[in-house]
Structure 1
Amino acid sequence: MPNTEPMTQRVELATVMDRLAVDGVVTDYAVAVDDGDWEAYRGLFTPDGRADYRSAGGIEGGAGSVAAWLAESLEAFPVRQHLIVNRRVRFGVLERDAGDTALVQADYVSPMGFAAAGGGPAAPGPVSGGRCSFGLLRTEDGWRLREVVVREKWRRSPQGAQAAAGG
């Protein structure tokens, strides 16, 4: 009987490497939004990649138009820290795909802050939470986002934040 252990180990190693790479893309997504690095944000997507922020009061569209909307709408909150946790990763190959696919569902908490006068600590801003779905595709350049769907479940604004934000 042939020994399949080395083959099994290679498949398991490849799966671990894919899981780490996919996790890295999700982390890079959060960091790009937090840092306002919209070029990096756009670079995480496939050419036809889309994002949907409608449940959080935003827009749905291609990565470029969504990046422009995020840049404008997040300008009031220079302090951002997206925490993406409870990541559930599933891999698969779809019939019509050019390569492997991954789906990540993860919960998020997103505290934001207003700029402080005189360079002090940021004034507390709104905090929201929910779940993101990330659809990824393996490309020649590595794993890329094909779709991001944000499903906001809750939002809390500190006293005065609504007034400061014009709400």
Structure 2
Amino acid sequence: MTQRVDLATVMDRLAIDELVTRYAVAVDDADRDGYLALFTPQGRVDHRGSGGVEGPAAEAADRLAQTARAFPVQQHLILNRLLRLQDLGGYPGDGAEVRADYLTTLRADSGGERVLGGRCAFALLRTDDGWRLTGVSTREKWRRDGGGEGVG
């Protein structure tokens, strides 16, 4: 690889890392528009493995408001990110995949708290507007419910 290709790969990795972080922030803030801006128009989610919806990203975005009403305090941490850029014979392509673990804390107004852990898979595509998500799937591995009413 040339230094130019190495630099482009580093820039891609930084942009993808920021996109995944923006995903977590949009979910935490129940920011529907910000969430949808992270996806390609055909972007899809599959959150069935963690009790959610499967379908177009807009359906998941609509669910953000419901979750925010039940749990107004949310924090989604996306950790242990493993990124694989498409390799076109030593040059980066326009596709990427990220596998990461998540740790989510949800707190209800009643004081009840739910803590979840699992794994995310992100599929990404380089577009004219930068990297965007084409798909996100989650699989819950564990859950702890505790304290207060309204958690269950």
State the TM-score, normalizing by the size of structure 2: 0.91
Counterpart for residue 151 of structure 1: 139
Measured in 2, the distance between the counterparts of 1:23 and 1:144 equals 11
Q: Which residue of 2 aligns with 1:28?
A: 22
Number of matched pairs: 148
- Segments ≥4 residues shifted beyond 3 Å: none
Residues in 1 aligned to 2:67 and 2:79: alpha-carbon distance in whole angstroms: 24
Question: How far 1:115 moved relative to its partner?
Answer: 2.5
Q: Which runs of 5+ in 2 are unaligned?
A: none
104, 107, 112: which one aligns with 1:110: 104
| Alpha-carbon shift at residue 64 of structure 1 (Å) | 0.7
Q: Deviations over 1:104-156 (max 9, x none)?
A: 0000100111226xxxxxx2410000000000000000000000001111111
| Structure 1 unmatched ranges of 5 or more | 1-6, 117-122
| Structure 1 vs Structure 2 CA RMSD | 1.6
Preserved contact between residue 112 and residue 147 of structure 2 (Cα < 8 Å): no
Which position in structure 2 is the counterpart of 1:135? 123
CA distance in 2, matches of 1:11, 1:134: 23
Tell me the percent identity: 57
1:62 aligns with 2:48: no
Q: What SS does the corresponding residue of 2:134 show, helix, strand or coil? A: strand
The answer to which structure has the higher strand fraction is 2
TM-score for the superposition, normalised by structure 1: 0.83
User: Considering only CA atoms, is the larger Rg found in Structure 1 or Structure 2?
Assistant: 1
- Say if 2:36 is the partner of 1:42: yes
Structure 1 or 2: larger helix share?
A: 1
